[in-house]
Amino acid sequence: MLREVWPFVDAHHRAGRPVVLARLIGRDGPGSRPLGATMAVSGDGTWRGSLSGGCVEGIVLDAARAVLAGAAPHVTAVAPGEHLMPWEDAPACAGELRVLITPAPPEPVHSAITAALAEDRPLAVRVGLHPPYPWSTAPTVGQLPDEEPAFTEQLAARPRLVLVGATDLAAVLATLAQPLHRKVTVLDPRPDHVASGAFPDTAEVVRDWPDEWITHHPLAARDAVVTLSHDPRIDDRALRAALAGPAAYIAALGSRTTHAGRLQRLADAPGLDRLTGPAGLDLGGASLAESALSVLAELIAVDNGRSGRRLRDGNLPIRAATVATNTARAESGVGEPGLAAP
């Protein structure tokens, strides 16, 4: 998706280097990446992103570098394994991919995408699928100019992850949440905790009582709250405020004994059945990173309506049928909307 490669695109744009995008706009079989998956290839030879997880990237790189060298932008069909010898087995992701290879959007579209991602504003981005492959943006898909055929991606505002308690575990959670495209806010009323300097620049660290902050910053359905302070005076206030709203994942760190006491204290709180505790999946880890991974893994599972059990023990598609944070589609019959999963 554009969000995944945009830091790379923007850095090369600011350095004055050309960038070509290769975008997955259609597929007639299973695959490991959703429609809208994007590779960005710079004029200095470096690149980011993938369209298939490895099956076709070499072929796409050659095509993108040809456009950088002056070839015309185009839509091309790529089949994983098309360069194999007759006796070699084809890869599992054997469906034909349809890929749009075109220069990265010029101004003012580039700046519109950069600003929307930086400010967490929704933005619809459309590129035509016929020469000259025009780009356009608008706050919503319905406000985009008509362009058929075209490929459209709706960039959504990032869901928020609210961490209550400016602890060492919160610092690791905030760091690991960055590539998950979560907007992290750390809340703690204790001045020494918020001044620790342990948190990444990408996290917002606020000295405030969590219930008061949540009241002034209402949570959305895809937001999440995890309490980490181990202080009931702080955590309980946060949980009461969060349970009163629509946040999908509300969890509390602590042992089973601690959680039993927590449930007794919060027995009169509406929505208490939505509270998860102890937070996290049963990974058996003990380090800060392992604990943070356990919590984030459970958050991802809840976000996608999954159980979090081992893949080998299930029979659902490996990837969820929808991409929650972005929607991308090809219009006028070019490609199939959604995500095909093996």
Rounded Cα distance, 185 and 163, in Å: 6
User: At 166, is the secondary structure helix, strand, or coil?
Assistant: coil
pLDDT score, position 316: 82
Q: Per-residue pLDDT tens for 271-308?
A: 999 999 999 999 998 899 999 999 999 999 999 999 98
* Beta strands across the sheet bearing 183-187: 204-206, 183-187, 160-164, 224-227, 249-252, 275-276
Query: Are 32 and 93 a contacting pair, CB within 8 Å?
Result: yes
The chain-wide mean pLDDT, for the chain, equals 89
For the cut 60, the answer to whether the pLDDT of residue 239 exceeds it is yes
pLDDT score, position 78: 87
Structure tokens at 250: 């509300």
According to DSSP, the residues that pair with 225 across neighbouring strands are: 162, 250
Closest CA to 251 of 300, 205, 309, 178: 300
Structure tokens at 208: 């405030």
Q: How confident is the model at residue 333 (pLDDT cuts 50, 70, 90)?
A: very low
pLDDT score, position 145: 87
For the cut 60, the answer to whether the pLDDT of residue 120 exceeds it is yes
Mean pLDDT calculated for residue range 121-132: 95
Rounded Cα distance, 110 and 32, in Å: 28
Q: How confident is the model at residue 89 (pLDDT cuts 50, 70, 90)?
A: low
